[in-house]
Structure formats: structure tokens, C-alpha cells
Amino acid sequence: MRYTDKKLKNKTVLITGAAGFIGSNLAFYFQENHPDARVIAFDIFRTGERFGNGNLKSFGHFKNLTGFKGEIISGDITKKEDLARLENYDIDYIFHEAAISDTTVLDQEIMIRTNVNAFIDLLELAKRKEAKMIYASSGATYGNTPSPQTIGTENPQNVYGFSKLAMDNIAKEYAKRYSINVIGLRYFNVYGKNEYFKEKTASMVLQLGLQILSGKAPRLFFGSDKILRDFVYIEDVVQANILSMFADKSSVYNVGTGKPRSFQDIADILQKELGTDYKTDYFDNPYKAYQTHTQANIASTCKELGFSPKFSLEDGIKDYVIEIKRVYASEVKNV
């Protein structure tokens, strides 16, 4: 799906975190829709190292870039010597997707160093190159504020949300002080192709889909019909990124559907699409603090970026099911 007719011939696009979930989808969008653009995929790739919570330190995986024909650079955004390699390129656009995106990481030092300090280095690069910066912020900046979550009502409850809000504040200052164009996109609950290698932090859509394909009833917390999230399909996230390239105003925007849906909805839609009729396996929610409702206020996103979500939860899952089946057959079934 093409989201703009703007030409990018002889333009250079840098994508950090390009072997991750959203970054890889952006890389292929440009390859398929703007073959005349030069695309640089920058990613640390995974080493097998894990945080204290058992989750991987990097979700980047070469399989997410299988078929990508652009340039690939293995690098760490926290290392200035790695970022220095980018000085050789005339960069027009930077899509900054690299980050520690695991909300359960408690190591505050590495979270701030990776998400905040490295972002400043990339903003400096954008300033030197006179490049436009579009970066990944997060709905986690709102914490447990009442829905709909609206710009200006932030109250992060974990260091990840805190780091993303810090990025938003720094971006605002850079745009004001140096007149560079910077747009932050606060993603809500994104699901879709190339998220499998996020392991336990992958979306409920993928996790429940794989459970069902394994012949198991979907497992949900008691009361999951009342736990609502703003689930946004990867295609709409790509749309928001591409539209941001041609927005004149530096700002931060929510990226969601504006229509929250329940965990139970996901399980039911998946069963319909996969042709199963298992009963749901309910269990107690082990978390003392748990947000039960998110809803992105996307009024400014629609008005100022021209954003319009194309995929309802039903449409997104229907489109995604073929990929979930492929992932199950190639990555899960034979393991």
C-alpha cells in the first residue's frame, strides 16, 4: 500500500532498528514503493544477551530483513564510533526505531543511556545533515491516565515511558532551538508482520494466534472482555511514518485507531479466522498494577498528518493470519 505520491529519487533514508519489528516494515515499504531511494538499515542485531528479566537485549533479527536489497550496517546507537560511520552519507530522512522497547526492563541506567542519550546523538546527526527526524515515542508516556490518552496529559509509570517522554521533550527543544524538523509518533499497541522475534513482548494477537495453532485454547486473564487496548495494525503505523515525512510542523502525535478493543475480542476474531472453537482458558491476573483501558486521541494526527486508520481489529487480524500461520509453520512447529 502506497501512502504518498511524493518522489524520493536520489533521497537517502536512514532507519535505525531496521532489523526489528517496525523498522523492518519501513525498510520494505521504501524498497517496494520508492525503489529510487537509498535506504540504509542500521541495527545492533541480536547477540543472545538478555536482561535480568530474561528478555533479549536486542530484538533485531536478520530474518526480518530477508529480501532487503539496501545497505545494512551493524551498529549500536549508544556507541559514537558506530554512529560515526553514518557521517559518510548524505542523509535526508532518519526514522529512529532503535530503542529498548521492553517495558518490564528495570535497569534505569541502560534505559536512559539507550533511549535518551543516544537520541541526542542522532538529533545532532540530523542537525548536521539537515535531515528530517521521525522517531518512535510511545503510548507508555501516559501511564495510567484516563482514556482517551491525549497529548499533554502524560504520567509515565515505568522507566520506559519516562525515557520516551524525555525524548519528546528533547525533540521539542531541538526543533525550537535549531529549527530542525522532528516528529515523534506515540505508538499504542502495534501488531503485525515481523514481530515474532520480540518473543514474550510480541503482541497478544501473535501470542494468542500461535497458541490456537498449537491446538490450545487461548489463555486470558479473568475479565479480559473488560480489558481494552488500542490495537493498531503495522500497516497503519507505516502510514503514519510516511505521512510524517511531508509534515512541516514539528510535533508529537498519537498513533492508534482511537477505538479500543478487548483481549477477548482478539481471541474470538482469531478463532473465527483460524476456524477453531476452543473455550477460553481463564486465569488470575498476576499483576497488582495493570492498565485496563487505552485509547489514543488521534484528532491532531488525523488533522495535521492526514492520518486515517485503514484497519479495524477484524481487518488487521484477517490480513495478518496468513503470516501467523507462516510463522507457526517455520518458527514454532518444528522447534
Q: What is the DSSP string of 229-262?
A: E-EEEHHHHHHHHHHHTT--S-EEEEES-S--EE
| CB within 8 Å of 116: residues ≥ 6 apart | 163, 166, 167, 170
User: Which sign does the torsion angle of CA 152, 158, 164, 167 carry?
Assistant: positive
Active site residue 198: yes
pLDDT at 58: 82
Residue 111 has pLDDT above 80, yes or no: yes
Nearest to 264 by CA among 314, 227, 291: 227
What are the domain boundaries of the chain? Answer: 12-195+232-256+292-310
Residue in 11, 135, 198, 253 annotated catalytic: 198
pLDDT at 315: 98
Residue 31 has pLDDT above 80, yes or no: yes
- Give the DSSP H or E segment for 263: helix 263-274
pLDDT at 335: 59
Secondary structure class of 126 (helix, strand, coil): helix
| CB within 8 Å of 187: residues ≥ 6 apart | 22, 136, 137, 138, 139, 232, 237, 255, 256
Cell 536478520 maps to which residue? 62
| CB within 8 Å of 272: residues ≥ 6 apart | none
Would you say 269 and 317 are in contact if contact means Cβ atoms under 8 Å apart? yes
pLDDT band of residue 183 (cuts 50, 70, 90) is very high
Find the mean pLDDT for residues 43-54. Answer: 87
Would you say 25 and 238 are in contact if contact means Cβ atoms under 8 Å apart? yes
Q: How far apart are the C-alpha atoms of 205 and 191, rounded to whole Å?
A: 7
User: Which sign does the torsion angle of CA 254, 259, 263, 267 carry?
Assistant: negative
Residue 5 has pLDDT above 70, yes or no: no
CATH superfamily, domain 12-195+232-256+292-310, is NAD(P)-binding Rossmann-like Domain (3.40.50.720)
Q: How far apart are the C-alpha atoms of 56 and 206, rounded to whole Å?
A: 18
Q: How far apart are the C-alpha atoms of 244 and 238, rounded to whole Å?
A: 10
Q: How far is CA 326 from CA 6, 61, 300, 334, in A?
A: 33, 17, 37, 12
Residue 282 has pLDDT above 70, yes or no: yes
Q: How many Cβ atoms are within 10 Å of 306's Cβ, its own excluded?
A: 14
Would you say 14 and 93 are in contact if contact means Cβ atoms under 8 Å apart? yes
Active site residue 29: no
pLDDT at 84: 97
The tens digit of pLDDT for each residue in 241-276 reads 999 999 999 999 999 999 999 999 999 999 999 999
Find the mean pLDDT for residues 125-130. Answer: 97
Q: How far apart are the C-alpha atoms of 98 and 119, rounded to whole Å?
A: 9
Take residue 313 and report the three cell numbers written for it: 481489529
Take residue 157 and report the three cell numbers written for it: 509509570
Cell 503514519 maps to which residue? 240
Residue in 160, 174, 196, 233 annotated catalytic: 160
Q: What is the pTM (predicted TM-score) of this model?
A: 0.96
Rg over alpha carbons for the chain, rounded to the nearest Å, is: 19
Q: How many Cβ atoms are within 10 Å of 166's Cβ, its own excluded?
A: 19
